[in-house]
């Protein structure tokens, strides 16, 4: 029986890379029933809402979604897409793997960044402060970190490490300065780490030192867990170590759903030109297949995708080639055969 999956092609290059991904999964024999929905500017055009109720209802039904890049409308009156998805489905764990496909500056990068996805500065508690006659003389943003949120994200990182035969979890913090909020996160992390002692190695790194060590010796890191803002920054840095966001998939796991995505932007300058690299969404789809229990096909697709890139004969422009999206997709499919 086919697994129902909500498909949100997205904006800009989204529909092109989504079609490429669907073709590759079909060629691999993935038994998926796609429920196509809209969000972003496509949602505004159709429903005057960047995250329409029909799309949310679909995800509630399927509990699994694959989405392309979405453009966030500018102006008041529109819901934030990411906030709406995180709140509706409590998507507390953002998982971003990055590994070397083609040896370059770094040959042995294989890092999984686990980011807390619902708290911290991105929780959105902020306001202006009036001083004298100026109602916007200052602005204040509050970083909220809870024991519950910290416990579940750190535990998720350790459980991920065990399930995927990973050896080490690195917790990244700034507790030396932010002694209450980051201190709570660190204290909880140390407590959880003791439960896994002897099974998974644990270490702590201060955020600024971590950023430096990532570009000096990234091969020393395995699973990295951190708070929302730090995770947002470090995940892009880690993606840069392996070739950029075009090869960076992401997944958001919650209590009620899992949403897999390409984390790059909509690239409107190349939209409709058939030259975009579908790699990030293809790899996100592989994470989705892992999640629904189709690990064999996920591995086959990854091998075909990586082999196509390593051959260097059919590459999109961002990978140093001149091939179209369709040509690259055809080359991956040919390897599947």
Catalytic residue, chosen from 11, 92, 174, 330, is 174
Rg value, the chain, Cα: 20
User: Measured on CA atoms in the order 258, 259, 262, 265, is the torsion positive or negative?
Assistant: negative
Which of 268, 244, 332 has the alpha carbon at shortest distance from 14? 268
Catalytic residue, chosen from 53, 134, 208, 311, is 208
Q: How far apart are CA 177 and CA 7, in angstroms?
A: 43
Q: Is 269 a catalytic residue?
A: no
Q: How far apart are CA 195 and CA 210, in angstroms?
A: 24
CB within 8 A of 132, min separation 6: which ones? Answer: none
CB 222 within 8 A of CB 161: yes
Q: Which residues pair with 261 in a beta bridge?
A: 67, 250
Catalytic residue, chosen from 35, 49, 222, 232, is 232
Location of structure tokens 């204040």: 140
Catalytic residue, chosen from 11, 49, 67, 122, is 122
Q: Is 318 a catalytic residue?
A: no
Q: Is 122 a catalytic residue?
A: yes
Catalytic sites, residue numbers: 122, 174, 208, 232
């Amino acid at each position: 029986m086919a697994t129902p999956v909500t498909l949100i092609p997205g904006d800009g290059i989204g529909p092109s890379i989504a079609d490429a991904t669907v073709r590759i999964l079909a060629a691999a024999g993935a038994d998926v029933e796609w429920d196509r929905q809209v969000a972003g500017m496509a949602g505004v055009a159709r429903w005057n809402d960047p995250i329409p109720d029909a799309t949310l209802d679909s995800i509630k039904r399927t509990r699994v979604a694959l989405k392309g890049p979405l453009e966030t409308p500018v102006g008041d009156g529109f819901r934030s897409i990411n906030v709406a998805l995180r709140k509706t489905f409590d998507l507390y764990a953002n998982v971003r793997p990055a590994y070397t496909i083609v040896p370059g500056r770094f040959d042995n990068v294989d890092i999984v960044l686990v980011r807390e996805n619902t708290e911290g500065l991105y929780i959105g508690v902020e306001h202006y402060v009036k001083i004298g006659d100026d109602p916007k003389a200052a602005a204040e943003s509050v970083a909220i970190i809870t024991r519950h949120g910290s416990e579940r994200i750190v535990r998720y990182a350790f459980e991920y490490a065990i399930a995927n035969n990973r050896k080490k979890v690195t917790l990244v913090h700034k507790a030396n300065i932010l002694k209450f909020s980051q201190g709570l996160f660190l204290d909880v992390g140390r407590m959880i780490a003791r439960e896994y002692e002897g099974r998974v190695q644990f270490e702590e790194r201060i955020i600024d030192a971590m950023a430096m060590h990532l570009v000096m010796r990234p091969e020393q890191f395995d699973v990295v867990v951190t708070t929302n803002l730090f995770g947002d920054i470090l995940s892009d840095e880690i993606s840069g170590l392996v070739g950029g966001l075009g090869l960076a998939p992401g997944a958001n796991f919650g209590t009620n759903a899992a949403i897999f995505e390409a984390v790059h932007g909509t690239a409107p300058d190349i939209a409709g030109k058939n030259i975009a690299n579908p790699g990030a969404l293809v790899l996100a789809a592989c994470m989705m297949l892992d999640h629904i229990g189709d690990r064999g096909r996920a591995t086959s697709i990854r091998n075909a995708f990586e082999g196509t890139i390593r051959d260097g004969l059919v590459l999109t422009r961002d990978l140093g080639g001149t091939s179209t999206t369709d040509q690259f997709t055809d080359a991956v499919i040919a390897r599947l055969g």
